[in-house]
A and B are shown apart, each in its own frame.
Chain A
Amino acid sequence: MAEAYDSVSEPIPISLIAGRYLLFDVNVVTYLRRTHNICGSLIGGIPQAPQQNMFLGLPVELMPEEAALLVKKEIGYIVDDVAWHTQRFNTFEGEDRQKYLASLRSQGLKARKTAQFAARKRADHGLRKLVAKKAIESDSSEDESPDTPFDGTSSDALYDVDRPSSPAPSSIAFASSEPYALTPSTSYSPSSLPQNSSPAPDPPVGPGYALFELLQSRGYFMMPGLRFGCNFNVYPGDPLRFHAHFLANAYEFDEEIPLIDLIGGGRLGTSVKKGFVIGGEDLDAEAESGRKMRTFCIEWGGM
């Protein structure tokens, strides 16, 4: 695990497909979550449970704000996956093509080997258990009938102990050299990253980005705010461990806010034990350190 985690190197390619920012590598997802407070949301179906929509798998979809932040901090960059795929696979000939196919083949072989190893281990484990069980049975049967010093079960046990050392006929079935067929989830392997010949445009950011960046820089984790009808749910730590502290809504500095929205947000936030944060960037203020943000936190007054 730690090894795979270390193998993630910045900048990280973020796939842009149909206007969505996606991550396909579980190591990258873990890395971003641990080191950069970026969660995204899992949107992929799970083959074992295709009907459920609560707990999903890879890929992870990033909010535009998350993608923009990663690009801005040079942790990641956007890859237009469709353009890159066409560009790469239309000009794929000769040696390059062979090399690519060989790499797929070697990965398939590796997968097959891993599967074989696991299967053999499982078989060994099962056989050992069987042997142990039989040994116990034979022990107890010897206790009951000491007059029969040589019976069939004990010779079976001896035979079973020998078996793992010599290749069993059943394990030959695993030993096929045919590689597994692989379907890569991305059009490139980490070793052949696109050369950024045509960098995809930066993610579009609305007024929400400034607030997102501020909260992120303070160590908060943000998730999409749909379930509370706001821009972001703001968590004080990993959302798997903490409840959200705030519902955050971003506004432009001079944008008119109907008071009923503030009261509604404050009331909803209080009833789910959260604060309602509104915030935005003061573009006119002379900022000493980057942005000049103003945030306000609203809670029910209790009267």
Chain B
Amino acid sequence: MAPASILNLPPASALQENIDAAEASIGVSPHPVYLHNLALSITHNLQYHHDWTSVSVHTHSSLTNSPLPRPVISGLPPKRAYIHPDEQAEILKVEHSTGKSIPQIPEREWVLPTHLQEKWSLAKFAAVFDALDTVPLAGKEPSVAKESAEVVGHQWQGKNRLKRLLLATLHDDSTVVYYIMHDGIVKPRQN
């Protein structure tokens, strides 16, 4: 005999709506549900805390068509997530000589959802990197980044860039931290 007011649940939160909306696709996925929920939490954080756009969750590798080790997110950050130090140096050089600033167009990035309680290993990271393309396939929207030789720093953009992903780590208080992870030895940025 619960009071009638309790039966009227408050409206679902944005995160709950997000999870509910993804439920249909989770059913047919090869991955366990908790990994999907993890990916959804990260997706939510990317979209609503960091203004990422066209965020999507990938369950299968575009290289081998076999399932990925876990669902991996790709999306478009509001500004470039990573600029290689050599590219930065070249941009500054060109900007200095021409006197015009070069607009930096964001590129799609991979995001690997993880939880702080997990333990990873070199083998697991290697498996994820081996299953991923260098650049995530653009969804429905056209690729914004031009891949032409005229673009300053094109050696470090698009297909020419080194394989990288953003390691997103979720904690129980819903904090998410993002670390850029490169496949191989890449010299650090001069920040």
A and B are interacting partners: yes
Taking Cβ atoms with an 8 Å cutoff, the residues of A that contact B are 215, 218, 236, 245-246, 251-260, 262-263, 266, 269-270, 273-275, 277-280, 282, 294-303
Q: Are A259 and B118 in contact (CB under 8 A)?
A: yes
Q: Are A246 and B185 in contact (CB under 8 A)?
A: yes
Please judge, given known A-B contacts A298-B179, A299-B179, whether A257 and B121 are in contact too, CB under 8 Å: yes
CB contacts (< 8 Å) of A253 on chain B: these are 121-123
Q: Are A260 and B179 in contact (CB under 8 A)?
A: no
Q: Are A259 and B122 in contact (CB under 8 A)?
A: no
CB contacts (< 8 Å) of A263 on chain B: these are 116, 169, 177, 179
The 5 closest A-B pairs by CB, nearest first: A301-B178, A275-B188, A256-B119, A297-B182, A266-B179
Q: What are 21 A-B interface contacts by the 8 Å CB criterion? A: A246-B188, A251-B121, A254-B121, A255-B121, A257-B121, A259-B115, A259-B117, A259-B169, A263-B177, A273-B191, A296-B182, A297-B181, A297-B184, A298-B180, A298-B181, A299-B188, A301-B82, A301-B177, A301-B179, A302-B81, A302-B178
Dominant secondary structure of chain B at its interface with chain A: mixed
Interfacial residues of chain B within 140-191, with CB under 8 A of chain A in the complex = 166-167, 169, 177-191
Report the nearest B residue to A275, measured CB to CB: B188
Q: Are B188 and A298 in contact (CB under 8 A)?
A: no
CB contacts (< 8 Å) of A277 on chain B: these are 185
Q: Are B122 and A301 in contact (CB under 8 A)?
A: no
Chain A nearest Cβ from B181, distance in angstroms: 5
CB contacts (< 8 Å) of A260 on chain B: these are 116
CB contacts (< 8 Å) of A245 on chain B: these are 187-188
Interfacial residues of chain B within 104-127, with CB under 8 A of chain A in the complex = 114-123, 125-126
Which of B50, B120, B186, B187 is in CB contact (< 8 Å) with A259?
Answer: B120
Which of B82, B120, B169, B182 is in CB contact (< 8 Å) with A256?
Answer: B120
Instruction: Give CA–CA (A275, B188) in the complex, Å.
Output: 5
Q: Are A262 and B123 in contact (CB under 8 A)?
A: no
Q: Are B180 and A299 in contact (CB under 8 A)?
A: yes
Known: A254-B121, A270-B188. 17 other contacts (CB 8 A): A218-B185, A246-B188, A251-B122, A255-B122, A257-B119, A257-B121, A259-B117, A262-B179, A263-B169, A274-B188, A280-B122, A296-B122, A296-B129, A298-B180, A299-B188, A300-B179, A302-B81
